[in-house]
Amino acid sequence: MSVPDFLDMYKTLIAKPSISAIDESLDLSNKAVIDVLANWCRDLEFEVEITELTHAPGKYNLLARREPLNSSKNHGGLMLAGHTDTVPFDDARWNSNPFELTEKDNKLFGLGSIDMKGFFAFVITAISQLDRKYQNAPLMILATADEETTMAGAQQVAQHTSLKPKYCVIGEPTDMVPVFTHKGHMSSAIRVTGRSGHSSDPDRGLNAIEVMQQVISRLLHLKEELKNKYSIEHFAVPHPTLNLGHIHGGDNANRICGCCELHIDIRPLPGLSITELEQMLLNAIQPINEQFPGCVDVIALHDPIPAFSGRTDSGLVRLAEKLSKQKAIAVNYCTEAPFLQQLGCETIVMGPGSINQAHQPDEHLDMDKITPSQNVILDLIKKCCFNNEKAS
């Protein structure tokens, strides 16, 4: 029952490219990472289930389960969850090979070092230090696909009928600060279809850029409405945000623009449903479609991600606060938490590394944080799944 040491696991995980991207030319399978994790889990006497995603062939989830000895109990316990994919990278902005773990200035550099393949090295190292004969509750490791794009992996897991952990900890990089709630994410394309024509006779066309100017005006009004109508003090940015992120349209100065498209990003608070938000967006552009019938379309760029809502007084939050010696917080980014929470488990987000490094060139883990983070993860597993006094 042996697994590689911590740094060897880290090196192996970083060396397996598993980029997920909307651009098919960049998108890769995560199977190599899944296979490595599966072998390590089997070495620790876990039963391993590998599932190809229904709507994303070539992408895989791994669910490893280990029950207490001499027990048929298969509900309850702790699930440690993370995603196996990474974002794409800009090679010109990295000072080292993103797929080679590089130690420099007391830091471990590599793509996925904190977001978030490295989390699995922490988890497996911790479990390998515990004596299974003292395990008294189910222990699970979940590794998902495509978190960085569609979250299809977590959404598929949410439909798993026999998976019923009591607790779930998602190891996104929070510097081991427990996160009990976060905002959602909705990205939409607003497409204006006009009529092109020669610029010398404007009345013979419908300029999509001019119509888009009206759309933007109404979106900015919606932005202020969201800011004034909804607020939760736990968040550093206490209101929903709406960002105008990308726009393109037209092809020549002397042609009436026939099509213009704007991409927007909205981050809803807990309590503001995706359905309600989508209706608010449609209501905002309705007067323009009444003036120019069928001119404006709203197209989802990906399936929206709902906000994650937890409680500060839950047993898992209180335990995580005690072990980490840090108060649970709310964050503005989103994770797989709202989907995994659907399994009926108390859920938090808490893992090693800083979110400030996520999606950045030269992504790295500060080595000074390894031992403190490892100790919290080890203690968490012991408290949830072992006879704590005898486990190690």
| pLDDT score for 282 | 97
Q: Does residue 215 register a pLDDT over 70?
A: yes
Q: Can you spell out the DSSP letters for 70-84? A: T----SSSEEEEEE-
CB 379 within 8 A of CB 323: yes
Question: What DSSP state is assigned to residue 204?
Answer: G
Per DSSP, helices labelled H in 138-200 are: 152-157
Angle between helices 118-128 and 6-14 (to 10 degrees): 150
Q: Where are the domains of the chain?
A: 6-182+306-385, 186-300
Instruction: Please give the share of the chain, as a percent, with pLDDT higher than 90.
Output: 94
| pLDDT score for 390 | 64
How many alpha carbons fall within 13 Å on the CB side of residue 223?
A: 13
Q: In the structure encoding, which two tokens stand for residue 251, read together?
A: 């092809």
- Topology (CATH level 3) of domain 186-300: Alpha-Beta Plaits (3.30.70)
| pLDDT score for 133 | 94
| pLDDT score for 99 | 98
Q: Can you spell out the DSSP letters for 323-361? A: HHTS--EEESS--SHHHHGGGS-EEEE--SS-GGGTT-T
Does 85 participate in catalysis according to the annotation? Answer: yes
Under the banding of pLDDT at 50, 70 and 90, the label for residue 354 is very high
Under the banding of pLDDT at 50, 70 and 90, the label for residue 75 is confident
Per DSSP, helices labelled H in the chain are: 6-14, 31-43, 118-128, 152-157, 208-229, 274-291, 315-324, 337-340, 370-385
Superfamily of domain 6-182+306-385: Zn peptidases (3.40.630.10)
Q: What is the pLDDT of residues 307-338, one digit of tens each?
A: 999 999 999 999 999 999 999 999 999 999 99
State how far the Cα of 130 lies from the Cα of 135, in Å rounded to an integer: 8
Of residues 124 and 389, more confidence is placed in 124
Cross-strand pairs, 82? 143
Of the ranges 30-39, 66-75, 207-216, 237-246, which one carries the lowest mean pLDDT score? 66-75
* Average pLDDT of the segment spanning 18-24: 94
| pLDDT score for 253 | 95
Q: In the structure encoding, which two tokens stand for residue 299, read together?
A: 């197209």
Q: Does residue 1 register a pLDDT over 70?
A: no
CA distances from 116 to 67, 136, 277, 352 (A): 26, 28, 30, 9
Q: Does residue 230 register a pLDDT over 80?
A: yes
**Which H or E run contains 59?**
strand 56-66
| pLDDT score for 12 | 98
Candidates 147, 172, 175, 363; catalytic one: 147
Mean of all residue pLDDT scores within the chain? 96
Q: In the structure encoding, which two tokens stand for residue 175, read together?
A: 């510097």
pTM: 0.93
Widest distance between CA atoms in the chain: 85
CB 357 within 8 A of CB 364: yes
Q: What is the pLDDT of residues 90-112, one digit of tens each?
A: 999 999 999 999 999 999 999 99
Q: Can you spell out the DSSP letters for 364-388? A: EEEGGGHHHHHHHHHHHHHHHHB-T
| pLDDT score for 71 | 75
Q: Cα angle at 154 between 182 and 123, to 5 degrees? A: 85
Pick the closest to residue 207 from 281, 130, 282, 260 (CA basis): 260
Q: In the structure encoding, which two tokens stand for residue 303, read together?
A: 């399936």
* Average pLDDT of the segment spanning 194-212: 95
| pLDDT score for 73 | 66
Question: What DSSP state is assigned to residue 133?
Answer: G
Q: What is the pLDDT of residues 282-311, one digit of tens each?
A: 999 999 999 999 999 999 998 899 999 999
Q: Which long-range contacts (CB under 8 A, 24 or more apart) does 278-285 make?
A: 278/186, 278/304, 280/222, 280/225, 280/226, 281/188, 281/222, 284/218, 284/219, 284/221, 284/222, 285/190, 285/215, 285/218
| pLDDT score for 388 | 66
Under the banding of pLDDT at 50, 70 and 90, the label for residue 184 is very high
Under the banding of pLDDT at 50, 70 and 90, the label for residue 129 is very high
Q: Does residue 74 register a pLDDT over 90?
A: no
| pLDDT score for 391 | 65
Same fold, 6-182+306-385 and 186-300: no
Q: In the structure encoding, which two tokens stand for residue 249, read together?
A: 């349209």
Q: What is the pLDDT of residues 136-153, one digit of tens each?
A: 999 999 999 999 999 999
